[in-house]
Amino acid sequence: MMKLGFKGFLKRAVDIWAKEGRGVTYLDYPELSKDWVRHTFSKLRKLGYLERIPRTIPAEYRPTERAIRFLSTGREESGPQALGGWSAIESVLEKLGEEPFTIHDIHCLFFSKALYGVLERNPHSFRSAGWKYDKRNRQWESPKFGWKGRRRWAFVRVSSTGTCQVVIRCDDDPIKLDFEELERFRNFLDDFRAWLVLQVQQLGRLIQLEALTLIPSVPDWRVKQWHFGRDAIGIQEVTTMPCINLTVKEWGDGYLRLYMKSIANGVVRLEKVERPAEADKTLIQWIGERASLAEALKQASELNRSVSEIDRYLHEFAVNLKTHVEVQRETLKLQKTVAKTLAEMRRTHRKMLELLDKLERALVGGGLGNADG
């Protein structure tokens, strides 16, 4: 039995986490025995390089920051040199606040024991059409069904228990959470179901009505997982960030992480990996809730911008009002000074008039006295 080295085993886990946004299971190491893989998972958990993702079957493990640093540098950095790029995260978070909400890596469930039976009865027909069968876990996987004109596709995994997991991959072309885009997404899922029904009908040699009954309609599908978040593009500081993956464990019904999607293009993604706790909610219900949430957050953001703009105008008005009041106060002071000066001038003028009057009377009186003598 071929065995990977320590770094090779860990590198595969890191690569899958970075490219597909999911943890690894024993199924990601098909060349290794299940017991050896599980033993390695346990050992890496104890060393602090992997951590188990809760509520996952089969068990999924994600790499820790310690593992990522170890693979990228060959050593476990700590101290100031590991913290030198943290200031770059501030600009990343600021840019993220301007981007639209999106979803990607969406997993849906429906149940159809009869569908698995059709696959088991016609293995050669389905294999010849591109279906794959995993003997170890007795699971069928369909070919990829593409979304025309987009980097998006879907496929289904059908297990022996009748659990059918539809996986929608759009990691590099996430779906915007607005009503128009979500309507197109719903249409794509309808197209995928129609294609799946046709595959089962033709390869399983069934009549159309039988094939239709094997696969529930899209509104009845349940959500197992999706990634909900934002992408920031063109972040120049991306290469100075201290690590490529920050994960906040156990937040609500999933976990939150910030990671570099593409170093070359400066793409940073902030996302919440959601695994809904409400198993009774359908895909359409979840889409509606997330669309409403995105619309509410968008309106809140616009309102916040409006409030900020109003606040700026009010501040400018307050400054101008303060200046105006100060000018009025100075003008009033000047007016009082002028009035006081004018009063002084009037008093001086009266005194001058009184003096002139006295001089005039004195002169007139003196003249009359000389004439009498």
Closest CA to 167 of 218, 225, 115, 118: 225
Inter-CA distances, 13 with 211, 275, 294, Å: 38, 20, 32
Collapsed DSSP state (helix, strand, coil) of residue 72: helix
Q: Tens-digit pLDDT profile for the chain (373 aa)?
A: 455 677 788 889 988 888 777 889 999 988 888 888 888 888 888 778 888 888 788 889 988 877 877 776 554 444 433 444 455 666 666 666 667 778 888 899 999 999 999 999 999 999 999 999 998 889 999 999 998 888 899 999 999 999 999 999 988 888 888 878 888 898 999 999 999 999 999 999 888 888 888 999 998 898 888 887 777 666 666 555 555 566 666 555 666 777 766 655 667 777 777 776 555 677 777 777 766 766 666 666 665 566 566 666 666 666 666 666 676 777 777 778 777 877 787 787 777 777 777 777 777 665 544 444 4
Q: At residue 91, what are phi and psi to the nearest 5 degrees?
A: -70, -30
- Domains of the chain and CATH, by start: 6-77 (1.10.10.10), 101-301 (no CATH)
Place of tokens 């025309």: 148
| Structure tokens, 47 | 């060393």
Distance (Å, whole) CA 298 – CA 29: 42
Task: Count Cβ atoms below 10 Å from residue 29 Cβ, excluding itself.
Answer: 20
Distance (Å, whole) CA 137 – CA 132: 12
How far, rounded to the nearest angstrom, does the alpha carbon of residue 116 sit from its chain's CA centroid? 37
